[in-house]
Amino acid sequence: MVETVRSALRLTAVDPAAARLGLAPGLTLADARARIPDLAVVDADPAADERFLDRLAGLCDRWTPLVALDPPHGLALDITGCAHLFGGEAALRDAACARLAGLGLAVRASIAGTPDSARAQARFGRTALVAPGRDADAARRLPVAALELPGEVTTALSRAGLKTLADLAGRPSTALAARFGEALPRRLDRVLGREDRRITPLRPLPACLVERHFPEPLVRADGIEAVLAILIAEAATLLERRGAGGRVFEARLFRTDGAVRRLAVETGRPSRDRAAILRLFRERLESLADPIDPGFGFDTIRLAVPVAEPLAAAAPDLDGRAVEREAVADLVDRLATRLGRDRVLRFVAGDSHHPDREAALVPAMGPAPPGQVGWRPAEPDEPPARPLQLFDPPQPIETLAEVPDGPPIRFRWRRVLHQVARAEGPERIAPEWWRDGSDEPTRDYYRVEDAEGRRFWVFRQGLYGQDTPPRWFLHGLFA
C-alpha cells in the first residue's frame, strides 16, 4: 500500500510476501519497483482503516464495555472485573485472539497492569500475560524502541549503548530528560507501569449493564425476545435499588461471526416499567428496514442503560388523571420508536413576544431546550389570546375598515368575503430589532369574528402616514 509522504509515493504497508523480498514501509515506490517491477500496489485508505478498527472495537464490546482505540492499528481493553466471566485473563485473551483470527487478522495481544505496558508487550515483546505487579520486571527486557519515541531519539539511545529498558530503568530521570528530552522519562514510567494512564473508551460506561452469554448460539426470534425480557427485568431491579429510571435502553447482539447489531429505544421520562420497555423493543424490531439476521446465531446479548435519571416511587394521584398521563406518555414513546424521534414533536415556549417565535417544535423525547421559559398564563374565563393554528407565512387578505387605524369591517380571504361582526384590539407587537432589523414594520393584531361565528387573528403590518402603505394579513384561526 502506498501514499504520498513528503512529496513522494512511499510504501505504508506490505504483506508477508513483500516483506520476504526485502520491502518495508517507508521505502519509495520508485525504489520498490526498481527491485520488483511487477509489484502490485494499491492506494492506502486511512479513513477505511479507522472505520474497520471501529467495527472491531464494537466486536470487542462482548468482553468489556471499556474499549478504546489505540492508534494506529490497536485496541485497548480495560478488562478489570470482567476476566472471571470468561474463565480468567488467559482464557479471555485466547478467546479474543481466536475470534479476531477467525476474521483473517494477524493478532498480537498482551495483558498487563497499565495500557502502555500492555501496548509495549504486544508490539515489542513476547509476554502474553504479565503477572500482577510485575510490569517493570517484564518490561526491562524490551528494546528502547518500545518507548515509541522519535527515530532520532531512539538512534541516540542506541549509540549511547542504551539498548534495552533495563539500561534506562535505574538512571535518574533528570539526566535522561536533559540529554534525550522530557518525553523519555514520562514514557519510560508508563511502560514500566510506574504511571497508570487510564484509557478513554469510545462509549462512556453506562449507568446500568446486564448481559447473557450462551454456550449454544441463539437463532430464534422468540428466544432473543425472551432473553431481552430477562435482561430488562434485571436492569429494572438494579435501577429500582438506586432510585433511578432509564431514559435510553440499548441492546447489543453479538453474532458468532463477529457482526454486532445495536437496538436502542428511548423514553420521554425516566422509566423502569418492564412491560413498556419490552414493548418498545418489539416496536423497534418490527420497524427495522433491515430485519435482524441471526446468521449462525448470537452468543452474547447485552442490555445497557446509557442514560438514567432519578425516579421516585409513584404516589397515588387523587384526581385520577395519572393513568391518562401514563397512557399518553406510552403512546409518545411507541410512536417515536416506530417513526423516529425527530418525527414526533412537541411545542415548547420560546423566550420572545413575537408570535412567530413564541413557540417552537422540538423532539418529544428530547430534553427541554436550555433557557426555556414557561407558557404565558391564561386569563381565567377569558378566550385564548393566541390561536392554536398559525399560518407560516401569514396569508394576505383584502380588507375594508371604517377608519384607517380601526379594525376591518369585512375582509376577503381565499376569494371568500367575511363580514366582521365583532372585533377586539388592537394588540400592537413591535418587531425584535436585534433579529429583524430596524426596518421591520410594526404589527397591530385584532381578534375578529365573522357573521357565521368563525374567529380569526388578523393584523395590519405598518402604520398609516409612512412611505409604504399598510398591508393586512391573516395569521391564525381560533378553534
pLDDT at 326: 78
pLDDT at 33: 93
d(CA 418, CA 297): 68
* Contact yes or no for 206/65 (Cβ under 8 A): yes
Domain range for 400: 389-477
pLDDT at 170: 84
pLDDT tens digits for 148-165? Answer: 999 898 999 988 888 999
pLDDT at 219: 87
pLDDT at 380: 77
The reply to whether 248 falls in a domain is yes
pLDDT at 371: 64
Q: How many domains does the chain divide into? A: 6
Same domain, 117 and 217: no
Same domain, 465 and 397: yes
d(CA 58, CA 201): 11
The reply to whether 186 falls in a domain is yes
Q: What is the CATH number of the domain that holds 176?
A: 1.10.150
pLDDT at 85: 85
The reply to whether 383 falls in a domain is no
**Low-confidence stretches of the chain (pLDDT beneath 70):** 289, 313-323, 367-372
Same domain, 459 and 393: yes
- Nearest CA to 39 among 82, 1, 65, 93? 1
Helix (H/G/I), strand (E/B), else coil: 130 = coil
The reply to whether 382 falls in a domain is no
pLDDT at 143: 93
d(CA 183, CA 143): 17
Convert 260-298 to b/e letters by CB count within 10 Å (16 or more is b).
bbebebbbbebbbbeebbbbbbebbbeeeeeeeebeebb
Helix axes of 151-159 and 173-180: crossing angle, nearest 10 degrees: 120
pLDDT tens digits for 203-237? Answer: 888 889 999 988 888 888 888 889 999 999 999 99
Q: How far is CA 41 from the centre of its chain?
A: 37
d(CA 359, CA 376): 11
pLDDT tens digits for 279-309? Answer: 999 888 887 767 788 888 898 999 999 989 8
